[in-house]
Amino acid sequence: MLQKNIYLILIILLLHVGCTTNEAQEGSIFQETPNSLENMKYTGDDHIDNSVEEQSEDGKQIKEENNQADQDAKEPETEKPAEKPKKRDVKGIYLNRNSIREENINKYIDLVKSSDLNAVVIDIKDDYGKISYDSKLDRVNEIGSDDNPTVDDMKKFIQRLKEEDIYTIARIVTFKDPFLADKKSEYALKRKNGNVWSDNAGVKWIDPFKKEVWEYVTDISEEIAQLGIDEIQYDYIRFPENAKKVDQEVAFDNPDNISKSDVIQNFLSYSKEKLANYPVYVSADVFGLVTTVEDDMGIGQKWEKISPLIDYISPMTYPSHYAPNTYGIGNPDRHPYDVMKNAMQDAKARNQMLKEDGKDTAIIRPWIQDFDYKSNYTAEDVKNQIKALKEEQINQYLLWNASNKYTEAAL
């Protein structure tokens, strides 16, 4: 019996040596795949020692474990979402692409650390469609939207802010993108005669119905998530205002006659899926009146279709932007407390209705006006907006000033 087993071993070894490279590449049992060495060992032992009538319990257990390992190897692993940063009550300021330059950022870091602030919203893709860092994405490099970046090393920049315990939010202007519209006119909103459409300010927009646009935007979101940002914030996640006029002029790429609000909802669902395994939160900016009106105002923003899909929702409750007699206030611009109070009460009520329907809701984090428009806005005006928020138990806010000149006395 011993002599017979020796002959069998020699035959197997000769066959092993004679196996060609192509055979190995085409799936030979000697190919190094998961558990291949264990399979060789125990399968071989089983074949060689056929005379053994009784296996040990240990041997059975090992074989069963190997079989289970083989089964596990065949089943694709489900990627687990990365752990997101701990949630905090965010109080932040907006910083444009010029303010985040190396020579400018220190004063804003000092402002945050010397006040009640703890966050910054930084331009990643701005109102002109320009990317503020050197991107590795093919779509970005093809059109050059990251030419002349203002941050040399975005990963290091984000890490620097985090070391200062500053929460980082990436502002990504979504469907207002004149740069992409110029470089890829097939993505632009078109007039019914086929020419590229521009708004009253001469700015070109891209068509929210086009899936290629979704891919371009969310690719940037993914890349900045990989670089360590805490949150992605979609701004201009809407159709152009003056909807009645726009609809008369523009031929949307909408053969299935999908509603505008459904398109915005579908985009956010698409983004949510793409970012599911990244440790980032997602937020969206909406018109201030979205908290109150029932329809989408022709721009595609409807509270009930947006709030359940994101982590934070930021109504742009700038009192100067409300029409006279809104909320029964003759001149909303001069009543910042009342405007904020009414808007937040409506926002909370909308979220409550969603919760009663068993749906998730975004945390409310409004934008506060800290800029002059119809009148000079003072520290008291800013503080009155914050006061209204506190009374409504809303502990988060973002301050907007396009030129980043903030009223330090209010902070």
Structural domains in the chain? 2-74 (no CATH), 91-410 (3.20.20.80)
State the pLDDT confidence band at 350, using cuts at 50, 70 and 90. very high
R_g of the chain computed on alpha carbons: 29
**pLDDT over 70 percentage in the chain:** 80
Confidence class for position 73, pLDDT limits 50, 70, 90: very low
Helix (H, G, I), strand (E, B) or coil at 161: helix
Task: For residues 226-246, give the mean pLDDT.
Answer: 97
User: Where does residue 327 rank: exposed (0-12), middle (13-18), buried (19+ CB within 10 A)?
Assistant: middle
Q: Has residue 402 got a pLDDT over 50? A: yes
* Residue matched to tokens 């444009």: 96
Q: What is the pLDDT of residue 112?
A: 98
Q: Using pLDDT thresholds of 50, 70 and 90, give the confidence band for residue 255.
A: very high
Average pLDDT of the residues in 253-273: 98
- List Cβ neighbours of 131 (8 Å cut-off, separation of 6 or more): 124, 125, 140, 145, 146, 149, 220
pLDDT of residue 79: 56
Residue 45 has pLDDT above 80, yes or no: no
- Judged by average pLDDT, the poorest of 8-22, 216-230, 242-256, 344-358 is 8-22
What is the distance between the alpha carbons of residues 339 and 320, in angstroms, rounded to a whole number?
10
Q: Is the dihedral of CA 343, 349, 350, 355 positive or negative?
A: positive
| Residue with more model confidence, 363 or 13 | 363
Check whether 1 has a pLDDT greater than 60: no
> Do you know the residue count of the chain?
411
399 vs 94: CA distance, rounded Å = 6
Q: What are the start-end ranges of the E strands in 46-105?
A: 91-95
